[in-house]
Chains A and B, each alone.
Chain A
Amino acid sequence: MELNTHNYKKILTALSLSQFWKKQLEQNNAKVNGTSLRMLSDIKEEISDSTISRRIYTQNGEIRKLAKSVHLELSNNNSFRFLEDDFDKDFNSLDEIRIHAALKEKQKEKPLPLLIRWVNLAKNPKYKAFLIKEIGLFNQEDCASNLLDLYIEEENNLVKKELISTLGKLKHKPAVDTFIQDFNYASQEIQQTIIKAIGNIGGDEALSFLKTICFQSHDKEMTIEILQNIRLIDSQGNIYNELKNKASSEFEKTAIAYVELNSTPS
């Protein structure tokens, strides 16, 4: 059911709900502050820096992080400022969800700034990986070449994995060659991510690489992943059929049947 926004706004004004929760936010009680912040986020009323500033610098990590995400969502003045400095020292996956939700709300108003700006400033690998993931989710293609540069320099596996995945999502073709070069020296987890990313990007080079490594892998899960991606990007179906005829073990045959059942050729 769609919300009648006109009446909704009228009710909010008539009952002064926004003012009430803003006033509650001034109290020195973490429980009340938490409820106020959640209510303000829920009613989606614009919020000023002065209203929220005391909570943004509080010692209570929960309230501080909640206040920052509410600020990101509702403030119209310098609302992205907390994306700097790794968002918060206690940043975790729940903050990722809150920030993602806030960014989605922001995007409804106008296009988001390129998030690569904050990726370059981030020091916490988990936060950095999250921002990279968001670039993929918001399909910020303009960041792709910077992400590839970052991939070449990056040493942290968590960030590297997210970079590969995001470059795959953005279908950044120049990344394929770099990924292929790195493949044999990467950890198993990174290898699996590379296969998925190459499958997303597609192209002849990707197809030929996947063909080469198929059935060479000692990891059964990886073999299934490779077959799935070959099926996805092999528009002619020649390579896929060639591999299908080559399949000798019971596992390979079942894997092929499974892939055919679960994916459609491009």
Chain B
Amino acid sequence: MDTITYIYQYLIYFYAAAITLIYIILAFLSYINIAKIKAKYTSIEEEKLKEHPEIAPGISVIAPAYNEEVIIIDNVNSLLNLDYPNFEVIIINDGSKDKTLELLIENFHLTEIPYPYIEKVNCQPVKRIFKSTKSEFSNLIIVDKENGGTKADAMNAGVNMAKYNYFINTDVDCILAKDTLTKIILPVLDSKTPVIAVGATMRMVNGCDIKNGIIKRVRPPRPFIPLFQETEYLRSYLVAKMGWSYINCIPNVSGGFGLFHTSTVINTGGFDSLSHAEDMDMTLRMITYKRDNNQKYRIVQIPDSLCWTEGPPNINILARQRTRWGRGLLQIFVVHRRLLFNRKYGRTGLIVMPYAFIFEFLAPIIEFSGVIFLCYLLLTNQINFATFWLMLFFAYLIGVTVSIITISYDLSVKKVYKTYVEYLWLILFSALEALIYHPFIVIFSLRGYLQFLFRKNFKWGQMTRKGYSNKNPDDTRLKAQESL
């Protein structure tokens, strides 16, 4: 037993040291990347793009909707108000049972049109296609299809309809910044190597003041869980993904918001309806396709906050979300196992997939085993408390430091909150994250792994929402439940 204890302790030591080192490297790469992007793309480049629509590439914005009657009108208005000269908005009504479609028809003066629909990627049958009779909504297309049960299926219908070379994959519950399209397309234009996907920073909408689908004032979320998630998201986007982006190693462009190259998505067969992590699955399949065909590609991350999404306001909804993420992560390593340590897939096979496997997938298992092991050491009186507290405090400080670096990066990109007190609030909660929030994430992830292994509870969730307009900003935006 002593040998096992000895080996385990050393393994944990090296594991923790490695993850710390990786985060330091990512933070450094991210710093360079943010500085580079800030210097390269300014409002002048954005204005040039807007002033010359004849040369600005078109973008399709695709947003699936299932039973979204409460928010649909505000959000479609928000999408239609994006400041870009050349885009279309495609809303997929994925067999909603509420008044989503009726509200769209009424508010946007829609009429059914004959449309020679071509199924380039597989999805449930499309029933009808609507366009507006009003010229101000001429770039709006509504696709009414049979419910496919997943966002991936609805997205595929949107991909079939998209007429432009690039499309945005988003949700109707997301609110996009007005300058989203100019910001997201600039890295595509500024690259000799074809860019197949671009991601941007997402944050929590809970706490923001919103009017008619437009964010009037950004605030940190008031409820604890979205507040923890805000730092967690920022850390993931501004440190990890910005760092990985610098060496073209992004394994996942978020399903909540991302720009994708239409024909590459079609060539890979579209989004996988059976995947629990359709965003990471899509990104990996695009990489695999490009590598298998010896084609160069880039996946880029930009630091700008372009998308605001509703964060789970309570522990039950967080549990369901993270359990699904856990299932998705394990599924990714089952489906894409051939990428792991495979030289053929370059950095994805040799760096980023092993990283994701060891430091993301295995992390909850190792953390849980660590707690069990700690209990054993306590019972057998084998703990040197002086060293224990020192190590614990050291690990805690590293976590807090990374969070502070993240928030400082966020400030360097753009000061989105009005006051510095709001940033201090974020820092304060990030200091509590490891103690209060993180243990739950570990438990929910492990639950997801077990559910995947024992094939339980695989249905996708549905959000019931309260809506954005005319609300007390203190209120959480996502009120009711994600029912499975």
Contacts and interface: CB of A to CB of B under 8 A. Distances in A.
B484 interface: no
A141 interface: no
Given A254-B115, A258-B114, A62 B39 contact: yes
A100 B118 CA distance: 35
B39 A97 contact: no
Nearest 5 pairs of A and B residues by beta carbon = A257-B114, A93-B189, A94-B190, A255-B116, A94-B189
Interface string A53-70: 000000000100000000
Contacts of A34: 39-40, 42
A92 B39 contact: no
Contacts of A97: 45, 48-49, 52, 55-56, 189
Contacts of A41: 44
Interface string B410-425: 0000000000000000
Contacts of B189: 92-94, 96-97
30 contacts: A30-B39, A34-B39, A41-B44, A62-B39, A90-B192, A91-B192, A92-B189, A92-B191, A92-B192, A93-B57, A93-B189, A93-B191, A94-B186, A94-B189, A97-B45, A97-B48, A97-B55, A98-B48, A100-B52, A100-B54, A101-B51, A104-B52, A220-B116, A224-B116, A254-B114, A254-B116, A254-B117, A255-B116, A258-B113, A258-B116
B262 to A, nearest CB: 13
Interface in B1-45: 39-40, 42, 44-45
A31 interface: yes
A42 B190 contact: no
A221 B45 contact: no
Counting chain B CB atoms within 10 Å of each CB, which of A93, A221, A261 scores highest? Answer: A93
Interface string A244-266: 00000001001101100100000
B55 A137 contact: yes
A100 B44 CA distance: 14
Interface of B: 39-40, 42, 44-45, 48-49, 51-52, 54-57, 113-118, 186, 188-192
Contacts of B55: 96-97, 100, 137
A224 B114 CA distance: 13
A34 B40 CA distance: 8
Interface residues of A, number: 28
A258 B131 CA distance: 12
A158 to B, nearest CB: 12
Contacts of A94: 45, 186, 189-190
A98 B113 CA distance: 39
Nearest to B117: A254
A101 B115 contact: no
A251 to B, nearest CB: 6
B484 to A, nearest CB: 38
B44 A261 contact: no
Looking at chain A's contact residues, the main secondary structure is helix
A173 interface: no
B55 to A, nearest CB: 5
A94 B56 CA distance: 10
A42 B52 contact: no
B190 A93 contact: yes
A161 interface: no
Contact of A261 (B39, B114, B117, B188): B114
B267 to A, nearest CB: 14
Contacts of B39: 30-31, 34, 62
B48 A62 contact: no
Interface string A128-152: 0000000001000000000000000
A93 B188 contact: yes
A38 interface: yes
A42 B116 contact: no
A42 to B, nearest CB: 6
Contacts of B48: 97-98, 101
Contacts of B116: 220, 224, 251, 254-255, 258
Interface in A199-224: 220-221, 224
Counting chain A CB atoms within 10 Å of each CB, which of B39, B42, B55, B56 scores highest? Answer: B55
A90 B190 CA distance: 10
Contacts of A220: 116, 118
Interface string A33-44: 010001001100
Nearest to B163: A221
Contacts of B49: 97
A41 B47 CA distance: 12
Contacts of A261: 113-114
Interface in A96-110: 96-98, 100-101, 104
A73 B77 CA distance: 38
Interface in A41-90: 41-42, 62, 90
Nearest to A33: B39
A112 B379 CA distance: 86
Contacts of B54: 100, 137
Contacts of B44: 38, 41-42
Nearest to A260: B114
A100 B55 CA distance: 8
A258 B115 contact: yes
Counting chain B CB atoms within 10 Å of each CB, which of A62, A94, A221, A254 scores highest? Answer: A94
A94 B445 CA distance: 42
B215 to A, nearest CB: 26
A253 to B, nearest CB: 8
Given A97-B52, A254-B115, 9 more contacts: A62-B39, A62-B40, A92-B192, A93-B191, A94-B45, A97-B48, A97-B189, A98-B48, A251-B116
B33 to A, nearest CB: 14
A18 B270 CA distance: 52
B228 to A, nearest CB: 35
A224 B42 CA distance: 40
